[in-house]
């Protein structure tokens, strides 16, 4: 009933998203550095679903596939990309296709995109956590 | 740490969460790449989540469990009973009477906080179901939240298209987009939780909501980012009531609501129907009921649910015999404490 329950919910959703993206980026960076296999098929599929859900929310496509994307993450991305949103949506589509396609190395552009999304989810989680403490 | 039996499951759970976090800290410290500059930001993110978890444990369950008193034991039993009756599928949260923020749920810690006096008052307990709903919604986003969000997305996509076609002003279309954004943020979660609390308790939550609006609302049609307007929430509650109860219940609550609106002289703003379309609220209630049933949750049925009956009776008694209500409530709470094996 109080704001705390709603904030606690949004904190949890955004922290979960930030963790999912961060773990995936760590695996990808380690795979490159140590020349070993990166994300497995299931992890790639899950990540592609997440990117697809973000894309769908940003494009206001009505029924969005996959998981629930925190609204504040969506708003931060809209604020960041503003009038250049069409390019960002293209990047998201390309990254989703790359992750859904045949297993193989993931290119720099995808990692940069994941990094950006992870930053935004992390900022959202931190902001929610702080608001929960009213500081 | 030794805790009363009611809190033992929670203590174990928190211990497991802390142990997992410790394992993660050890893994990060042992990671050969932890000092590489190009990994720094990612490990920093990991550090932030772990430190937030440590703080949340310290401020929430650790604090509550270190001072777990008779009132908290009783309320934890009450929450457990509520969970059992409406077939809540997870481990019931513990409940502590130490909130300065009305009822609230700390999601990651499986903890409900209520104001200090709530252990001796029945009329607010239907709000426990709203808080339980926060856990359910958070853990079942794809079953509960996603279909509701799809309905909201669908409605506003259509409304924005229509407004554009009809040549609405840019400001009016901007307002529509703002409503969509607020709905998809915290509002939809609050509606889902209200709908579940109404599904689970029927009239008790409807009265509880009305009492809260009367006590705390500054403007029943006013909107804030974190919560939809009280009038819209009441409409949604009435929609769910129409689905799970007979028409008389809905009419009875609606009459009292209209009385409140008229007493305070509140006037529905022009944009209210645009922000909270009645048809959308009706569709949300229908969809929510279907999702709750899919999860196996049970709607209140008179004479089968002891706690549900007690809350129902409490509101009935309060409305019909307010002069004897305090004594009646004291007796009933004493009986409930005895049922749970706690001292009166």
Q: Does B46 contact chain A (CB < 8 Å)?
A: yes
Interchain pair A68, B141: CB under 8 A: yes
The CA distance from B116 to B67, in Å, is: 13
pLDDT at A1: 53
Interchain pair B52, A2: CB under 8 A: no
Interchain pair B105, A72: CB under 8 A: no
Please give the full DSSP string across A33-94, using - where no structure is assigned.
HTT---S-HHHHHHHHHHHHHHHHHHTT-SS--SSPPPHHHHHHHHHHHGGGHHHHHHHHHH
Do B230 and B145 lie in one domain? The reply is: yes
pLDDT at B340 over 90: yes
User: pLDDT band for position A35 (50/70/90)?
Assistant: confident
| Closest residue to A129, CB basis, from B52, B99, B190 | B52
Q: Domain A3-132 belongs to what architecture?
A: Up-down Bundle (1.20)
Do B176 and B313 lie in one domain? The reply is: no
Helices (DSSP H) in B297-342: which residue ranges? 306-320, 322-339
Considering chain B, what is the average pLDDT of its residues? 93
Do B93 and B160 lie in one domain? The reply is: no
pLDDT at B334: 95
Shortest Cα–Cα distance, A50 to chain B (Å): 13
Mean pLDDT, range B252-278, rounded to an integer: 93
User: pLDDT band for position B276 (50/70/90)?
Assistant: very high
Classify the C-alpha dihedral B336-B338-B343-B344 as positive or negative: positive
Percent of chain A with pLDDT over 90: 63
Q: With contact defined as beta carbons under 8 Å apart, do B34 and B43 qualify?
A: yes
pLDDT tens digits along A8-31: 989 999 999 999 999 999 999 999
Shortest Cα–Cα distance, B97 to chain A (Å): 15
> Per the domain annotation, does B9 fall within a domain?
yes
> Per the domain annotation, does B299 fall within a domain?
no
Residues of chain B contacting residue A115, judged by C-beta atoms under 8 Å apart: 41
Calculate ∠ Cα A26-A27-A29, nearest 5°: 65
pLDDT at B1: 76
Domain region containing B182: 139-294
pLDDT at B199 over 60: yes
Shortest Cα–Cα distance, A108 to chain B (Å): 13
Do B177 and B210 lie in one domain? The reply is: yes
pLDDT at B303 over 80: no
Do B283 and B327 lie in one domain? The reply is: no
| Mutate: best of A1, A13, A16, partner B, most B CBs <10 A | A1
Interchain pair B38, A129: CB under 8 A: no
User: pLDDT band for position B227 (50/70/90)?
Assistant: confident
Do B116 and B149 lie in one domain? The reply is: no
pLDDT at A2: 65
Do B18 and B163 lie in one domain? The reply is: no
Interchain pair A125, B42: CB under 8 A: no
| Residue from B119, B108, B162 nearest B6 by CA | B119
The CA distance from B275 to B214, in Å, is: 22
Mean pLDDT, range B72-78, rounded to an integer: 97
The more confidently predicted of residues B217 and A119 is: A119
Percent of chain B with pLDDT over 90: 86
pLDDT tens digits along B136-156: 999 999 999 999 999 999 999
Interchain pair A63, B153: CB under 8 A: yes
| Mutate: best of A5, A17, A64, partner B, most B CBs <10 A | A5
Considering chain A, what is the average pLDDT of its residues? 89
Interchain pair B189, A9: CB under 8 A: yes
Strand order in the sheet with B111-113: B94-96, B111-113, B104-106
Q: Does B181 contact chain A (CB < 8 Å)?
A: yes
> Per the domain annotation, does B126 fall within a domain?
no
pLDDT at B266 over 70: yes
Do B145 and B290 lie in one domain? The reply is: yes
pLDDT at A135: 46
pLDDT at B218: 76
pLDDT at B222: 84
Interchain pair B154, A62: CB under 8 A: yes
The CA distance from B64 to B60, in Å, is: 6
Q: Domain tally for chain B?
A: 3
Do B76 and B147 lie in one domain? The reply is: no
User: pLDDT band for position B224 (50/70/90)?
Assistant: confident
Do B20 and B99 lie in one domain? The reply is: yes
pLDDT at B197: 97
Calculate ∠ Cα A91-A92-A95, nearest 5°: 85
Q: With contact defined as beta carbons under 8 Å apart, do B53 and B25 qualify?
A: no
Residue A28, burial from CB neighbour count under 10 angstroms (0-12, 13-18, 19+): buried
> Per the domain annotation, does B157 fall within a domain?
yes
The more confidently predicted of residues B14 and A65 is: B14
pLDDT at B257 over 80: yes
Mean pLDDT, range B324-330, rounded to an integer: 97
In total, the C-beta contacts within 8 angstroms joining chain A to chain B are 121
Residue B30, burial from CB neighbour count under 10 angstroms (0-12, 13-18, 19+): exposed
Among B92-106, B213-227, B264-278, B284-298, name the one with the lowest average pLDDT: B213-227
pLDDT at A48: 94
Do B267 and B243 lie in one domain? The reply is: yes
Do B313 and B288 lie in one domain? The reply is: no
pLDDT at A104: 76
B265: region left, alpha or beta (phi > 0 left; psi from -120 to 50 alpha): left
Interchain pair A71, B181: CB under 8 A: yes
Mean pLDDT, range B105-123, rounded to an integer: 93
């Amino acid at each position: 009933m109080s704001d705390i329950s709603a904030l606690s919910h949004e904190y949890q959703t955004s922290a979960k998203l930030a963790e999912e993206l961060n773990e995936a980026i760590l695996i990808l960076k380690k795979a490159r550095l140590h020349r070993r296999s990166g994300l497995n098929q299931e992890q790639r599929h899950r990540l592609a679903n997440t990117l697809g859900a973000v894309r769908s929310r940003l494009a206001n496509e009505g029924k969005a596939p996959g998981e629930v994307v925190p609204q504040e993450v969506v708003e931060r991305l809209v604020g960041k990309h503003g009038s250049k949103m069409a390019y960002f949506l293209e990047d998201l589509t390309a990254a989703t296709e790359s992750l859904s396609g045949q297993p193989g190395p993931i290119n720099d552009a995808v990692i940069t995109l994941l990094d950006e999304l992870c930053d935004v989810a992390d900022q959202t989680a931190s902001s929610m956590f702080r608001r929960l403490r009213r500081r | 740490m030794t805790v009363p039996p009611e809190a033992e499951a929670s203590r174990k759970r928190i211990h497991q969460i802390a142990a997992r976090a410790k394992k993660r800290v050890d893994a990060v410290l042992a990671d050969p790449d932890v000092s590489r500059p190009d990994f720094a930001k990612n490990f920093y993110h990991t550090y932030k989540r772990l430190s937030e978890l440590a703080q949340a444990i310290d401020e929430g369950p650790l604090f509550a469990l270190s001072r777990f008193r008779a009132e908290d034991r009783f309320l934890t039993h009450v929450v457990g009973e509520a969970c059992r009756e409406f077939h809540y599928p997870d481990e019931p949260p513990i409940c502590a009477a130490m909130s300065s923020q009305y009822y609230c749920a700390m999601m990651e810690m499986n903890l409900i906080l209520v104001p200090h006096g709530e252990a001796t008052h029945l009329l607010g307990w239907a709000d426990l179901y709203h808080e339980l709903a926060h856990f359910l919604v958070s853990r079942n986003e794809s079953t509960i939240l996603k279909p509701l969000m799809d309905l909201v997305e669908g409605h506003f996509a259509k409304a924005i298209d229509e407004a554009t076609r009809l040549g609405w002003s840019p400001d009016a279309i901007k307002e529509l987009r703002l409503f969509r954004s607020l709905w998809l943020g915290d509002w939809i979660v609050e509606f889902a939780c209200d709908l579940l609390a109404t599904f689970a308790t029927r009239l008790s939550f409807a009265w509880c909501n009305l009492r809260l609006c009367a006590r705390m609302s500054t403007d029943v049609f006013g909107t804030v980012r974190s919560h939809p307007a009280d009038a819209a929430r009441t409409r949604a509650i009435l929609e769910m009531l129409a689905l799970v109860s007979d028409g008389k219940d809905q009419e009875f609550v609606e009459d009292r609501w209209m009385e409140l609106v008229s007493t305070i002289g509140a006037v529905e703003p022009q944009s209210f129907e645009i922000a909270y379309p009645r048809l959308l609220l009706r569709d949300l209630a229908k969809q929510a009921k279907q999702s709750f049933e899919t999860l196996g949750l049970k709607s209140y049925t008179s004479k089968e649910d002891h706690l549900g009956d007690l809350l129902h009776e409490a509101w009935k008694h309060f409305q019909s015999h307010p002069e004897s209500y305090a004594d009646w409530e004291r007796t009933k709470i004493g009986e409930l404490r005895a049922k749970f094996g706690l001292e009166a």
